[in-house]
């Protein structure tokens, strides 16, 4: 449910960004973010944008995972665009 909420929010927030996959975050990106939550970063998960947007450890852990597991720098760029859009007003 949280992953679906995140994907829907991300898709709506970044529909016009050119580096973002048309369908929003990939399942791999969502898994990487979830792994960061499971590691203790932002324990309220996808619903706590304030924590996510102000937690550099969350970002570095998530982006490292995306780079290693999801297809390299192009996927990191897409994830960064998604979070940048989501965090715009945080």
- Which residues are CB-neighbours of 41 under 8 A, at least 6 positions away? 51, 55, 57, 58, 61
pTM to 2 decimal places: 0.73
Tell me the C-alpha to C-alpha distance, in Å, between residue 32 and each of 16, 58, 74.
23, 10, 15
- Which pair of tokens denotes residue 33? 């973010």
Tens digits of pLDDT across the chain (90 residues): 555 445 445 444 433 344 455 667 999 999 999 999 988 888 888 888 999 999 999 999 999 999 999 989 999 999 999 999 889 888
């Amino acid at each position: 449910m949280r992953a679906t909420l995140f994907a829907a929010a991300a898709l709506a927030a970044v529909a016009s960004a050119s580096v973002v996959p048309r369908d929003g975050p990939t399942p791999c990106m969502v898994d990487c973010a979830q792994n960061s939550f499971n590691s203790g970063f932002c324990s309220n998960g996808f619903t706590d944008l304030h924590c996510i947007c102000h937690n550099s450890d969350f970002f570095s852990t998530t982006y490292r995972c995306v780079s290693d597991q999801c297809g390299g720098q192009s996927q990191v760029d897409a994830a960064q665009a998604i979070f940048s859009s989501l965090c715009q007003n945080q």
